[in-house]
C-alpha cells in the first residue's frame, strides 16, 4: 500500500482478496504490506491488475519463491519472536548456552548459573538426544525436562530443548520455551507440522538429506503454514566434503547474509556443532556476529572432558565467559 493508506483502504483490499478466495496477511510498519495467500488461479493476473488500479495500492508484486510465508517479499520487516519477554530478531544479539545433554541436577544447575552470570539469555540442554549410535547416551527424557524446568525456576532463563518425536511435542511444550528441531530432523515433515500446530516458538536447525537454503526455508514454511509465526532458523554447519577431518562440519557463515536477504525470520548460529572443536568456537561465534546473526547457541559444560555427549566442542565456564567478553568487545565496532 502507499504510505498513508487509511484503514478503510487497507480493509477494502483485504475484502477484495477474500472475495476471490485468498487469505490476507498484514505486515509492515512504515508502509502496510498485504500478503495474499492462496492457490495460483487463472485470474491472478487480472486480479493483480485490478488491485493495482486502486489509488491506495502502491504495487502488486507476485512472490515467485516456492516459500512464501518465510520470504522477505511477503513480510518485509524482520520477525521478532518473543520468548518470555525476550525479543529475538530485529537487531539485538541474544545468546543461548548450556550443555549438549542434560546429565544431572548438579551439571545442569551449575551450568545454568554460570552461563547466566556470563550474560547468556536462554538456557539450552537436550533431554531427548538424537545420537548416531543407539548405544550412546540417549538423554534423560522426561526427567531431563523436569531438571530444565527447575533450572528455569532458579535462574529465570527461558529454555530451548530438542523434540525428536511428534508424539512428544505436547509434553516438551509444557516444559520448554523454544522447541528445537535438530539438523537430522529438518525434513521430518510430520514433526514440523506438529510443532507448527503447537504455536510454540521453534528453532529450526539446517540439515537433513538436502540442506540447501531453499529446502530449509521450505521446512520453515511447513511450520508457518500451520499458523505458527514464531520460527527461528539455526545454521549449525554442513557435512565436510573431501574427507576433511580438522572440523566436524563447515559452518556456513554466508547463510546469515543470505537468510537476512531472502527471509524475515531470525537466524541463530551454532558454532559448537559448526566446528566440533572447542578451540574454534569463539572465532566462529565472532564471525557469525560480524555477519549479522540474531543470536548464538553455544554448548557449555562444567567438565567437558567428562561430558556424555559433544564434550570435544563444549566450552568450560571460563572459556564461555571469555567468549562472551570477546563478542561484547566486537559488537560496537560493527558498522550498521
Enumerate binding residues for ligand PEP (CB under 6 A): 100, 126, 130, 182-184, 205, 236, 273
Burial of 106 (0-12, 13-18, 19+ CB in 10 A): exposed
Between 182 and 201, name the residue whose CB sits nearer to ligand PEP: 182
Query: How many amino acids of this chain bind Mn ion (CB under 5 A)?
Result: 2
| Alpha-carbon distances, residue 175 vs 69, 152, 195, 241, 319 (angstroms) | 28, 9, 14, 38, 29
Pairing of strands 94-98, 86-88: unpaired
Minimum separation from the CB atom of position 178 to ligand PEP (A):
12
Which among ligand PEP, Mn ion, none contacts residue 89 (Cβ within 5 to 8 A by kind)? none
Minimum separation from the CB atom of position 8 to ligand PEP (A):
48
Nearest to 116 by CA among 160, 154, 76: 154
Minimum separation from the CB atom of position 186 to ligand PEP (A):
9
Minimum separation from the CB atom of position 186 to Mn ion (A):
15
Q: What cell was used for 174? A: 509444557
Between 127 and 324, name the residue whose CB sits nearer to ligand PEP: 127
Q: What cell was used for 39? A: 492457490
Q: DSSP assignment, residue 209?
A: S
| Residue nearest to ligand PEP according to CB distances in the complex | 182
Q: Tally the residues of the chain.
A: 336
**SS3 (DSSP) at 98:** strand
Between 69 and 223, name the residue whose CB sits nearer to ligand PEP: 223
Between 164 and 218, name the residue whose CB sits nearer to ligand PEP: 164
Stretch that binds Mn ion, among 5-13, 52-60, 63-71, 309-317 (CB under 5 A): 309-317
Q: How many CA atoms lie within 13 A of 322 on its CB side?
A: 10
Taken in order 257, 258, 262, 264, the sign of the CA dihedral is negative
Between 130 and 311, name the residue whose CB sits nearer to ligand PEP: 130
The residue whose grid cell reads 542434560 is 102
Which position among 180, 310, 317, 320 is part of the footprint of Mn ion (CB under 5 A)? Answer: 310
Which position among 60, 95, 100, 159 is part of the footprint of Mn ion (CB under 5 A)? Answer: 100
Which among ligand PEP, Mn ion, none contacts residue 236 (Cβ within 5 to 8 A by kind)? ligand PEP
Between 194 and 310, name the residue whose CB sits nearer to ligand PEP: 310
CB count within 10 Å of CB 311 equals 16
By CB under 5 A, name the binding residues for Mn ion: 100, 310
Amino acid at each position: 500500500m502507499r504510505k498513508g493508506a487509511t484503514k478503510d483502504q487497507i480493509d477494502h483490499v483485504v475484502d477484495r482478496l477474500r472475495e476471490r478466495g485468498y487469505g490476507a496477511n498484514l505486515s509492515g510498519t512504515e508502509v502496510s504490506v498485504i500478503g495474499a495467500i492462496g492457490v495460483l488461479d487463472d485470474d491472478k493476473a487480472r486480479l493483480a491488475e485490478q488491485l493495482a488500479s486502486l489509488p491506495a495500492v502502491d504495487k502488486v508484486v507476485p512472490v515467485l519463491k516456492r516459500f512464501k510465508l518465510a520470504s522477505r517479499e511477503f513480510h518485509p520487516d524482520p520477525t521478532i519472536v518473543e520468548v518470555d519477554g525476550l525479543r529475538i530478531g530485529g537487531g539485538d544479539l541474544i545468546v543461548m548456552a548450556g550443555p549438549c545433554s542434560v546429565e544431572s541436577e548438579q551439571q545442569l544447575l551449575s551450568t545454568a548459573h554460570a552461563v547466566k552470570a556470563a550474560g547468556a539469555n536462554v538456557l539450552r540442554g537436550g533431554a531427548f538426544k538424537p545420537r548416531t549410535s543407539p548405544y550412546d547416551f540417549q538423554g534423560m527424557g522426561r526427567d531431563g525436562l523436569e531438571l530444565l524446568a527447575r533450572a528455569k525456576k532458579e535462574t529465570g532463563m527461558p529454555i530451548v530443548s530438542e523434540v525428536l518425536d511428534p508424539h512428544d511435542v505436547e509434553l516438551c511444550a509444557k516444559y520448554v520455551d523454544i522447541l528445537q528441531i535438530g539438523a537430522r530432523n529438518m525434513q521430518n515433515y510430520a514433526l514440523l507440522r506438529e510443532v507448527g500446530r503447537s504455536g510454540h516458538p521453534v528453532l529450526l536447525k539446517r540439515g537433513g538429506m538436502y540442506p540447501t537454503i531453499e529446502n530449509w526455508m521450505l521446512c520453515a514454511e511447513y511450520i508457518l503454514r500451520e499458523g505458527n509465526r514464531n520460527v527461528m532458523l539455526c545454521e549449525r554447519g554442513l557435512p565436510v566434503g573431501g574427507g576433511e577431518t580438522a572440523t566436524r562440519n563447515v559452518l556456513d557463515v554466508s547463510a546469515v547474509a543470505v537468510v537476512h536477504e531472502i527471509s524475515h525470520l531470525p537466524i541463530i548460529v551454532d558454532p559448537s556443532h559448526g566446528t566440533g572443536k572447542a578451540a574454534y568456537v569463539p572465532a566462529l561465534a565472532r564471525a557469525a556476529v560480524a555477519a549479522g546473526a540474531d543470536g548464538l547457541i553455544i554448548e557449555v559444560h562444567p567438565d567437558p572432558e567428562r561430558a556424555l555427549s559433544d564434550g570435544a566442542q563444549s566450552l568450560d565456564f571460563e572459556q564461555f565467559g571469555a567468549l562472551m567478553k570477546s563478542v561484547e568487545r566486537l559488537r560496537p565496532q560493527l558498522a550498521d
